[in-house]
Every structure is written in structure tokens, then in C-alpha cells.
Amino acid sequence: MNAAPPILEVDNLGKRFGSFVALRGVSARFPAGQLSAIIGPNGAGKSTFFNVVSGAFPPSSGRLRFQGRDITGLAQHEFARIGIAKSFQITNVFPRLSAHENVRVAVQMRHARYRLLQPRAALHEVSERAQALLQRVGLGALRHRAAAELAHGQQRALEVAMALAAEPALLLMDEPTAGMSPEETKVMMDLIVQLAAERSVILVEHKMKLVMGICQRLLVLHHGEFLAEGTPDEIKANAEVRRVYLGQG
Ligand SMILES: Nc1ncnc2c1ncn2[C@@H]1O[C@H](COP(=O)(O)OP(=O)(O)OP(=O)(O)O)[C@@H](O)[C@H]1O
Ligand SMILES: [Mg+2]
């Protein structure tokens, strides 16, 4: 059905924590250039899936391919380098640093090329890049504000700017609207749609009505397995999905 080559393929991917099986050999292909979402009840394994796909946890079994290349077993820092970035379910910024400093750190960490420039030129370029990223997520005017003093929605946006510092071809977003007000949620969803126009995005989201409206493709994870995948309309019409997920509200 999908002609585009996949940005990410997982093949029989498994993850155990001791004797607990969090992912039961899942297989899926994520077409490049799409906005896909993974939905599923609490504890379904959504964050675990992202942790494995972003290199934070090694899989217990199975293979991982990114842009056609087998990346199973690559070190975590390599995942960022090849173009996979993740923003976390829990806000993950340096509270005492300003918005601009947070993004600057992310830019510096991800770009070895700045080390090749003269220190002054490199500093300037990093600073400009950080400011451009802040503007990208709507925080340009708040660059000097300490991260801790930003509203929750702004902190999440800051984290997105930090993830974008790596210029990822694939952006993984774990519940980017968690804890947000309806207004903040709207701003974040608009940003996600914009970001997805430029790169592949996979989203984990609980507020399912939101993702239904913006995603090309949904996958439903339940007890560590993909129960269904399809367009939002197909998922809405799937009787089993309704039983395990939609019924819970
Ligand atoms: N590091 C870990 N060690 C042990 N068990 C873990 C670990 N991480 C996750 N689990 C377990 O794996 C299962 C899946 O957790 P995961 O966080 O992936 O679910 P989730 O779908 O993201 O849930 P939520 O919607 O609450 O964020 C849970 O039962 C959880 O307790
Ligand atoms: Mg989770």
C-alpha cells in the first residue's frame, strides 16, 4: 500500500525486563515522510518501544533497520548521529539554564563540526542555530528565560527544540502533550504537524482524538504486541481495538 521506502523497520523486536516481557516480537514498517502514531493503554509498551528504537535500551531479540540499514546493536550516541532523536514522556530540560542555553548545549553536543571552527566563530554559529531552533518551536522571544520559569507547554516545546538540534530524519515524541492545557495542546499539535512536513515523525499519544485528526497511520500496541495498524478510519472501525482501547475512554 505504501510506496515510500520505510524510514524505520522493526522485525520481531522483543524486550524483556527480567522475566517480564514488555515487547513480544513486534514487526512494523514506518514509511518515510509520514506522521505515524502509536496508541495503546497504560503499560502497553509504548515507551519501551521508543526506548529500544532510540537506542536507549538494547532489544532482547529482533532487528532494527533505519533507512534500510541494520542498526541493531549500535551504541546509543550513534542513534542520534545517524538521525534518530527522541523527546521524552517526562520533561527533560536543565531547569536553571535559560531556554537559549538549553538548546545551545543540545546543538553543541550533537555537532562535532563546530569543533572544526575557530572558537569565536563556532560560538556564534552555535548561538544562532540555537536561536533559530527556539524560533522554530515558538520560543524565540523567551530565549533568556530560565527553563524552570517557562510554562509547562513551553518546557515541552523547548525539549522539542533540543531534539531538533540533531537535525533528525526521524523524530520520536513520547506523549508530547502530557500534562498540557487544551490551549498548550493545540499549540503543540500544530507544531507537530509542521515538523512532520519536514521529516518522519512517530508519536506516542494518549489523547487519541488528537492523533486521529493529524496522523496518516496509527498502530495500536496492547500487552507488548501490535494489535492493529491502519488509517485513523480503519482503526476507528476495528472491533478489537474498540474493545481493548476505545472502551477505556
Ligand atoms: N526499566 C524497566 N524495568 C522493568 N520494567 C519496565 C521497565 N520499563 C518499563 N517496564 C514495564 O514494561 C511495561 C511497559 O511499560 P511502558 O512504559 O513501555 O508502557 P507505556 O505504554 O509507555 O505506558 P504509559 O502509557 O503509562 O506511558 C510496564 O509494565 C512497565 O512496568
Ligand atoms: Mg509511556
**CA distance linking residue 68 with residue 51, whole number of Å:** 20
Ligand approaching nearest to the C-alpha of 51: 1
Instruction: Calculate how far, in angstroms, residue 88's C-alpha sits from the geometric centre of ligand 2.
Output: 9
Ligand approaching nearest to the C-alpha of 46: 1
In this structure, what C-alpha cell is assigned to residue 89? 514522556
Ligand approaching nearest to the C-alpha of 39: 1
Nearest-CA residue for ligand 1 atom 26 is 42
Atom of ligand 1 nearest to the CA of 89: 27
Q: Other CB atoms closer than 10 Å to residue 45's CB: what's the count?
A: 24
Lookup result for grid cell 500487552: 223
Separation of CA 85 from chain center: 6
Query: Can you tell me whether residue 56 is helix, strand or coil?
Result: coil
**CA distance linking residue 135 with residue 127, whole number of Å:** 12
**Cα–Cα nearest to 67, from 10, 5, 18, 146:** 5
**CA distance linking residue 100 with residue 67, whole number of Å:** 32
**CA distance linking residue 8 with residue 229, whole number of Å:** 15
pLDDT of residue 249: 44
Strands lying side by side in the sheet with 20-31:
20-31, 6-17, 61-66, 69-70
With a CB cutoff of 8 Å and minimum separation 6, the contacts of 51 are 15, 57
| Domain annotation for the chain: domains and CATH numbers | 1-83+168-249 (3.40.50.300), 94-167 (no CATH)
pLDDT of residue 61: 97
pLDDT of residue 4: 59
Q: Ion ligand 2 — residues with CB under 5 Å? A: 46-47, 89
Sign of the C-alpha dihedral computed for residues 194, 203, 178 and 146 taken in this order? negative
**Ligand 1 neighbours (beta carbon < 6 A):** 17, 20, 22, 40, 42-48, 89
Instruction: Calculate how far, in angstroms, residue 14's C-alpha sits from the geometric centre of ligand 2.
Output: 17
SS3 content of the chain, % helix, strand, coil (to 5): 45, 25, 30
pLDDT of residue 120: 81
Tens digits of pLDDT across the chain (249 residues): 545 579 999 999 999 999 999 999 999 999 999 999 999 988 999 999 999 999 999 999 999 999 999 999 999 889 988 999 988 766 778 999 999 999 999 998 876 666 777 788 888 999 999 999 999 999 999 999 999 999 999 999 999 999 999 899 999 999 999 889 999 999 999 999 999 999 999 999 877 788 988 999 999 999 999 999 999 999 989 998 888 865 554
pLDDT of residue 136: 94
pLDDT of residue 247: 58
